[in-house]
């Protein structure tokens, strides 16, 4: 009888331990199934961007084994805020928004960029019949930037305007406009709503190639010196998704090529290359000089 009691007690202990062990595994399983969320600044046609980013989410999921989801952002600032809160784990930023994100999240890293982002430019455009030759010629004209948080659509154009003696707050016909995206900028100038504007050279070149802009009405009259711009910035993800997650995601991005051409087309590139935070020091310096970041 004593042996039976001992055996029964032992079985009960084993059952409890087994149940506890099962709960531990379930908790681990749930934590490892957190969704890896990616985002991108909405700097051009939203439908095209959403479609391409959904495809990239599927590609990253296949390459890394993560559950990946693309989360659209209403504007540049919203993406930076979501990244700061840890709601976005990987983001396609411009130089300025990337610097803002890295300044807010200790350990965030710029990991990949397009080859052209080592040598990027902004273009100034104007209604063709104005026949402008230099930045100084925009004094007294109506003007539109892109988004206030855009590197190529605002930060660097503003910097070079000031360098060339044009104060956007004093020397234009009224206050400068902010279109919100590069494609809207060239459309506003083409339509005559604004006489001149500045935008990302890659979006401009893409619009010209696709015939999306009427060159009889609007054209480029000035191209800025080169600077570093767009990049993929990754949040501090290894703790939440497992050691090596950052490197796996980075490798997946750097491995994109001909097979992923349709996904890469929205970025006006055929591949991504490695980058690092130090490449964006100049952007940070300019942003601080202009009082855009502290």
Q: Report if residue 234 sits inside a domain.
A: yes
Lowest mean pLDDT among 1-5, 238-242, 263-267: 1-5
3-state secondary structure of 49: helix
- Of 179, 205, 223, the residue that ends a domain is 223
Query: Does 285 lie in the same domain as 266?
Result: yes
Q: Report if residue 246 sits inside a domain.
A: yes
14 pLDDT higher than 70: no
pLDDT of residue 28: 26
Query: Does 102 lie in the same domain as 78?
Result: yes
pLDDT of residue 10: 45
pLDDT of residue 15: 40
* pLDDT tens-digit map of 215-259: 999 999 999 999 999 999 999 999 999 999 999 999 999 999 999
Q: Report if residue 151 sits inside a domain.
A: yes
d(CA 96, CA 229): 8
Residue 148, Cβ density class (10 Å: 0-12 exposed, 13-18 middle, ≥19 buried): middle
d(CA 53, CA 56): 5
Quick check: 124 and 257 in contact, CB under 8 A?
no
* pLDDT tens-digit map of 169-193: 999 999 999 999 999 999 999 999 9
| Cβ-based neighbour number of residue 83 at 10 Å | 28
164 pLDDT higher than 90: yes
Q: How many CA atoms lie within 13 A of 11 on its CB side?
A: 6
Quick check: 158 and 145 in contact, CB under 8 A?
yes
Q: Report if residue 269 sits inside a domain.
A: yes
Query: Does 98 lie in the same domain as 40?
Result: yes
Query: Does 111 lie in the same domain as 242?
Result: yes
Query: What does DSSP say about strands 109-113 and 273-274: parallel, antiparallel, or unpaired?
Result: antiparallel
d(CA 207, CA 105): 35
Q: Report if residue 28 sits inside a domain.
A: no
Quick check: 110 and 279 in contact, CB under 8 A?
yes
Q: Report if residue 250 sits inside a domain.
A: yes
- Of 178, 198, 223, the residue that ends a domain is 223
d(CA 253, CA 63): 9
Q: Report if residue 111 sits inside a domain.
A: yes
113 pLDDT higher than 70: yes
Query: Does 254 lie in the same domain as 198?
Result: no
Q: Report if residue 23 sits inside a domain.
A: no
Three-class SS of 257-292? CHHHHHHHHCCCCCCCEECCHHHHHHHHHHHHHCCC
Sign of the alpha-carbon dihedral angle for 253, 259, 260, 264: positive
Return the structure tokens found at 271.
């591949």
Query: Does 132 lie in the same domain as 107?
Result: no
211 pLDDT higher than 50: yes
**Residues of the chain above pLDDT 70, percent:** 89
d(CA 219, CA 186): 9
Could you tell me the pLDDT band of residue 3, with boundaries at 50, 70 and 90? very low
Query: Does 113 lie in the same domain as 47?
Result: yes
Query: Does 233 lie in the same domain as 101?
Result: yes
pLDDT of residue 238: 96
* pLDDT tens-digit map of 67-112: 999 999 999 999 999 999 999 999 999 999 999 999 999 999 999 9
Query: Does 201 lie in the same domain as 238?
Result: no
Q: Which domain holds residue 62?
A: 33-118+228-289
- Structural domain total, the chain: 2
pLDDT of residue 1: 47
**Residues of the chain above pLDDT 90, percent:** 83
CATH number, domain of 152, equals 3.40.190.10
d(CA 278, CA 101): 14
Predicted structure pTM score? 0.80
pLDDT of residue 44: 76
- Of 205, 223, 241, the residue that ends a domain is 223
């Amino acid at each position: 009888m004593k042996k039976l009691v001992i055996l029964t007690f032992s079985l009960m202990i084993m059952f409890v331990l087994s149940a506890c062990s099962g709960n531990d595994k379930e908790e681990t399983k749930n934590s490892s199934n957190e969704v890896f969320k990616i985002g991108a600044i909405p700097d051009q046609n939203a439908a095209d961007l959403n479609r391409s980013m959904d495809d990239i989410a599927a590609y990253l999921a296949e390459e890394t084994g993560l559950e990946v989801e693309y989360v659209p952002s209403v504007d540049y600032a919203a993406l930076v805020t979501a990244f700061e809160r840890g709601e976005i784990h990987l983001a396609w930023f411009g130089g300025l928004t990337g610097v803002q994100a890295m300044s807010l999240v200790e350990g965030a890293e710029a990991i990949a960029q397009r080859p052209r982002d080592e040598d990027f430019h902004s273009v100034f455009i104007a209604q063709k019949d104005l026949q402008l030759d230099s930045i100084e010629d925009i004094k007294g004209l109506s003007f539109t930037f892109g988004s206030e948080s855009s590197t190529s659509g605002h930060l660097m154009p503003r910097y070079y305007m000031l360098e060339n003696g044009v104060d956007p707050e004093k020397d234009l016909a009224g206050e400068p406009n902010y279109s919100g995206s590069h494609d809207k900028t060239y459309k506003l100038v083409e339509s005559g709503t604004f006489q001149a504007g500045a935008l990302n050279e890659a979006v401009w070149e893409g619009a010209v190639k696709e015939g999306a802009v009427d060159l009889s009405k609007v054209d480029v009259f000035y191209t800025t010196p080169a600077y570093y711009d767009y990049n993929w910035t990754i949040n501090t993800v290894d703790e939440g998704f497992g050691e090596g997650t950052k490197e796996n995601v980075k490798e997946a991005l750097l491995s994109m090529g001909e097979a992923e051409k349709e996904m890469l087309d929205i970025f006006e590139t055929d591949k991504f290359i490695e980058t690092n935070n130090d490449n964006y020091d100049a952007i940070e310096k300019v942003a601080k000089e202009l009082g855009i970041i502290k």
